Amino acid sequence: MRSVTYSMGVSLDGYIAGPDGGFAWAEPDAEIFRYHIDELRQVGVHLMGRRLYETMLFWETADQEPSLDDDTREWIALWNPLPKVVFSTTLTEVKGNARLATGGLAEEIARLRAEPGEGEIAIGGASLAAEAAALDLIDEYRAVVYPVLVGGGVPFFPQGKRQVDLDLVETRTISKAAVHRYRVRRP
């Protein structure tokens, strides 16, 4: 069965964006960008909310820039053909290799898990990940932890009132961050 993963850059105090909505502190250098490229190779479909979808639209035409480095071109070559499912109550159409979700999050994930296909089901965006976590749909959390305290903002972990037991799968340092992978412990 395909795993559902949630991976984001996060401050040491647990936020993916600061109080002002900014996350410049998580801008990847070459080594961290390489990590994200390698991670993207494992993804079979990417689920995202409207805000993340609109942010990621940049990549649909970024390949037209002649001064791109090889890593950026590789990211684009992986990202653009990747199937994407967008959850939105306001969008009526999407571009590229994306489609609007036709059901709720649990329905979409169940359908994607049942379909033949390889690669992880990645969830992007704090709101969508919080919904998936509340529904106990996330199998693995991947936190790319940056050495900064932002003091508040959008939390990486949903503020639910239930305990979720995790098993540490991997910890490693890359450049200016530490990657922690945790798998949800299932009974």
SS3 content of the chain, % helix, strand, coil (to 5): 30, 30, 40
Residue 161 confidence (pLDDT) above 80: no
- pLDDT computed for residue 159 by the predictor: 66
Task: Give the H/E segment covering residue 48.
Answer: strand 43-49
The tokens 């050495």 sit on which residue? 147
- pLDDT computed for residue 126 by the predictor: 86
CATH 3.30.2020.30 at 1-8+25-141, yes or no = no
Q: What is the pLDDT of residues 88-107, one digit of tens each?
A: 999 999 999 999 999 999 99
Q: What integer is the mean pLDDT of 124-143?
A: 92
Q: What is the pLDDT of residues 1-34, one digit of tens each?
A: 899 999 999 999 999 999 998 889 998 899 999 9
Of 168, 130, 187, 177, the C-alpha closest to 23 is: 177
Q: Which two tokens stand for residue 104?
A: 């709720």
Q: What is the pLDDT of residues 37-57, one digit of tens each?
A: 999 999 999 999 998 999 999
> What's the half-sphere exposure (Cβ side, CA atoms, 13 Å) at 70?
1
What predicted TM-score, i.e. pTM, was given to this entire model? 0.91
Give residue 153's pLDDT band: very low, low, confident or very high (50, 70, 90): very high
DSSP secondary structure, 90-153, as one string:
S-S---SSEEE-SS-HHHHHHHHHHSS--SEEEEESHHHHHHHHHTT---EEEEEEES----SS
Give residue 108's pLDDT band: very low, low, confident or very high (50, 70, 90): very high
- pLDDT computed for residue 177 by the predictor: 95
Q: Which two tokens stand for residue 134?
A: 């509340």
Give residue 157's pLDDT band: very low, low, confident or very high (50, 70, 90): confident
| Cβ–Cβ < 8 Å for 101, 91 | no
